[in-house]
Structure formats: structure tokens, C-alpha cells
A and B are shown apart, each in its own frame.
Chain A
Amino acid sequence: MSRLTGTKTEILDGAGYAYSFDRQVYMNRKTKKAFSVEFVQDHSEDQIRKYIREHTDGLEWRFYFNLPPSEAVKHELECALG
């Protein structure tokens, strides 16, 4: 299991993100955003806050990954995350 600092986890928890253990992402169904563990590890707390605030239309999932996921991966994640 990847290790994250408590602060980043608290920022995400506070913004309504739940952790999906199976997919190793923090996800928010309301805003349809998902952050991979790797992405969270490699970005600062301020950057994470900025991405959380980033406006989306909320119609399609937005994935914050270090390597942009392929269409097939996006599709599978969208099905899994609901």
C-alpha cells in the first residue's frame, strides 16, 4: 500500500474525496474528479488544493494522473467509480 502524508489525506478527506482501495485513487462522485495516489504523492499540498478547486462541468470524469490514462483505462475507471 502506498504511503501518503496525513496532511494531503486530510485535505482530500475534507474536500469530500473518498479513497478507492481497489483503484488506488481519491474520488469525488459529485465533482467527478479522481486523483491517483502517485499524482498526490508527486504534487504539493497547495497544488492539490488548486486542483480540487479547479472548475469542471461535472459531466465527465476528470483524472488527475501523472501519466494521462488511455481511453480504455478511463472507460474502465468510469465504470468502476460509478
Chain B
Amino acid sequence: MPLARPERTVEDRLREEYFDLLPDIRRVVDELEAEVKHCLVPISLRLDKYERLVVTSRVKECESALDSLRGRQEGATFDSGRPELYSLDNLNDLAGVRVLAFPHSRLVEADRKLRERFQTWTADPVRGYDENDEPLALTYFGYCRASDRIRAEFQIVPMLTALFWEVEHSVIYKPSPSLKGVARSLEMQQRTRDVLKGLKAFEDEFANLIRRDPLAGKKKKKKRK
């Protein structure tokens, strides 16, 4: 006698879709990382000792992808009566590459280079906290040659912000259950803004000093010879 088959949830269907897409996601990550690194080689070769340009990549994990899609629904709830509404191909960042840059001038340069190379991709910057703030990160998404089934994303972030996010995301942005109270605290949100503003001020001041440093110019001239 056949066993009764339990009803599949929206999450079950999405997990199946994820593992069907996974080989494509991996290929896309590999391609995008290689393309981005190749594109940035001319900048990397000219970096001063204090400057940084680091490229990282990641495949979005299955449960993270589900959470991301669920979080886009009002009430963060899937409609179990309409599973056909949901697909992971709606996500832009199943395959993701991040460029960490310091100082700001290198970030601008990297952004220019990458925009030239990925002209058809769509910009989707990470907004600052206030309307007039500069974006926290520059993000673009589109398709790679490796697959037309999933979109990929690359993000260019000030290195100091990216390193802060390494800690902040696990506490504020995607907290574990025991830390959800921290994430909701208005005071903590204010401290987060303060840190981001402080990091930006650090970068701005550094850029001012470098511009005014007469030795920085001489070193460059020597290198050119």
C-alpha cells in the first residue's frame, strides 16, 4: 500500500528549485569573479602601498535565498495556496561578487571601469539612511554568459564599510533569534548610522590629506620615470 504523500510546501518547492539552479549559480559566480578581477587589473597594478582593492565572491546559501524571497512578501509569509507566484529567479544576488576598495578615489575608478564593462547591467545602489546621503554601496545586477537562468550581482563597497558590515550584518541586518531585540533598538540603529558616518568622515579626511601631501605627488613622478 503506497504511503500518503505529504503536501509539499512553498519552501520545499523553492529548495528543489535552488538545487536545480546551483550548478548555474556556481558557474556564474566563477565567471563574474574572473571578469571583475580581469577588469580591475589595470587599477590593481597601480595601487599605492596604503591602497586596497579586494574582490570576493559567494554563492548565496539555500536558506538565505528562501529568507530573502520570503522577506519580500508583505507579512514575510508565502501564500501556500499560490506556490506558482514564487521563484528564486526573482533574486538578483544568487551569485554575488563584492569589490572592497580603499580609498574612495579607487572605488570611483573601479566603478567607472566596471560600468564600462557591464554597460547593460542595472544599477541598484544600497541607499544611505537619509535621503540626501550618498549610497552605502554601488550595486549592479544582470546576466552572465554562463547562464541565462539566474541573475548575478556585483557590489562595490568602501572597504571600511564592508569590514564593518562583516560584524554588523550578523547583529543588526540578519540577526540570530537571540539578538533580534538588539536589531530593533532605535539606539543601536543610531549607533550604526554614527559608525557609517564616522567611517565616511575618516575616508574624506584621509583623501584631503593625501591631496595636500606634496610628497605623494613626488613619489608618483618618480614612479613614472
Point out residues on A near B: beta carbons under 8 Å: 1, 3, 6, 9, 19, 21-25, 34, 36, 38-39, 63, 65-67, 69-73, 76-77, 80
Contact = CB atoms under 8 A, between A and B. Distances in A.
A71 B74 contact: no
Which one of B77, B180, B183 has the greatest number of beta carbons of chain A within 10 Å? B77
A73 B79 CA distance: 5
Given A6-B186, A21-B184, 9 more contacts: A1-B172, A23-B77, A36-B74, A36-B75, A39-B74, A69-B75, A70-B82, A72-B80, A73-B75
A23 B78 CA distance: 11
Contacts of B163: none
B183 A76 contact: no
Interface in B182-222: 183-184, 186
B6 interface: no
A24 B184 contact: no
Give 9 closest A-B pairs by Cβ, nearest first.
A72-B81, A21-B180, A24-B76, A36-B74, A72-B80, A23-B76, A70-B79, A73-B77, A65-B74
A77 B12 CA distance: 19
A21 B173 CA distance: 11
Interface in B98-130: 129
A61 B146 CA distance: 48
Interface of B: 71, 74-82, 129, 172-173, 175, 180, 183-184, 186
Contacts, number: 51
A3 B129 contact: yes
Contact of A76 (B77, B129, B184): B77
17 contacts: A3-B129, A21-B183, A21-B184, A23-B76, A24-B71, A24-B75, A36-B74, A36-B75, A39-B74, A65-B74, A65-B75, A70-B79, A70-B81, A72-B81, A73-B79, A76-B77, A80-B77
Contacts of B78: 73
B8 to A, nearest CB: 14
Nearest to A81: B75
Nearest to A1: B173
A22 B76 contact: yes
Given A71-B81, A72-B80, A23 B184 contact: no
Contacts of B77: 23, 69, 73, 76-77, 80
Contacts of B76: 22-25
A34 B180 CA distance: 19
B76 to A, nearest CB: 4
Contacts of B74: 36, 38-39, 65-67, 69
A25 to B, nearest CB: 6
